[in-house]
């Protein structure tokens, strides 16, 4: 498994994951720089992503929607805030309507992705920060359904802990 470290910061509502990939930094960068590759990895298999606009430059936007099993669509956007190709980029990740107008009622997370050469491959660190527990809740409720069953699994966790 490429994930080598996971940090949960409960106070700052930050998730940080480190992964080691068996490919050079430029190759990992390409996954994000190429909309056709990005849409292969962004949405879960049940909710494949379609990338519409793709401008990975400071101030640029990446827009996408994910399509659910019932044809339901969930749109989102990245506002790219910093780019240091191929080493890192930062973006605000938010929700939008299907015309890609940002929905100001829904939360925005701040993300920094960093890629460094490591042991002949790439060490990637992904850091995302949420403004509040409510924001995190909303993000999980909105279309990112990969962990949809976990709310139910947590009942068992609660009992076991």
Partner 1 sequence: MSEEGDDRADALFHALADRTRRDILRRVLAGEHSVSALAAKYDMSFAAVQKHVAVLEKAGLLTKRRRGREQLASGDVEAVRSVASMLTELEQVWRGRIARIDLLIASDPDQED
Choose between 100 and 113: whose C-beta lies nearer to partner 1.
113
Q: Which residues bind partner 1 (CB under 8 A)?
A: 1-3, 6, 8, 10, 13, 15, 17, 19, 21-23, 27-28, 31, 37, 40-42, 44, 124, 126, 128, 133, 136-137, 139-141, 144, 146-147, 150-152, 154-159
Cβ at position 13, least distance to partner 1 in Å:
7
Helix axes 35-42, 25-33, angle to 10 degrees: 90
What stretches of 43-87 adopt beta strand conformation (E)?
49-54, 61-67, 73-84
Residue 122 near residue 29 (C-beta atoms within 8 A): no
Cβ at position 65, least distance to partner 1 in Å:
16
Choose between 65 and 101: whose C-beta lies nearer to partner 1.
65
Choose between 101 and 150: whose C-beta lies nearer to partner 1.
150
With 0-12 / 13-18 / 19 or more C-beta atoms within 10 angstroms meaning exposed / middle / buried, residue 92 is middle
Cβ at position 21, least distance to partner 1 in Å:
6
Q: CA dist 122 to 15, 18, 22, 27, 117, Å?
A: 20, 10, 7, 9, 5
Choose between 15 and 83: whose C-beta lies nearer to partner 1.
15
- d(C-alpha 118, C-alpha 71), whole Å: 41
Cβ at position 56, least distance to partner 1 in Å:
16
Cβ at position 103, least distance to partner 1 in Å:
19
């Amino acid at each position: 498994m490429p994930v080598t470290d996971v940090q949960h910061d409960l106070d700052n509502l930050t998730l940080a994951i480190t992964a080691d990939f068996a490919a050079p930094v430029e190759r990992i960068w390409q996954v994000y720089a190429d909309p056709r590759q990005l849409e292969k990895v962004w949405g879960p298999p049940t909710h494949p992503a379609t990338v519409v606009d793709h401008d990975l430059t400071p101030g640029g936007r990446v827009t996408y929607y994910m399509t659910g099993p019932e044809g339901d669509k969930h749109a989102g956007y990245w506002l790219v805030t910093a780019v240091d190709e191929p080493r890192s980029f930062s973006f605000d990740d938010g929700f939008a309507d299907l015309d890609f107008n940002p929905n100001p009622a829904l939360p925005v997370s701040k993300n920094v992705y960093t890629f460094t050469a490591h042991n002949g491959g790439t060490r990637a660190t992904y850091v995302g920060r949420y403004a509040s527990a409510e924001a995190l809740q909303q993000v999980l409720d909105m279309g990112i359904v990969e962990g949809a069953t976990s709310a139910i699994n947590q009942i068992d966790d609660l009992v076991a802990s």
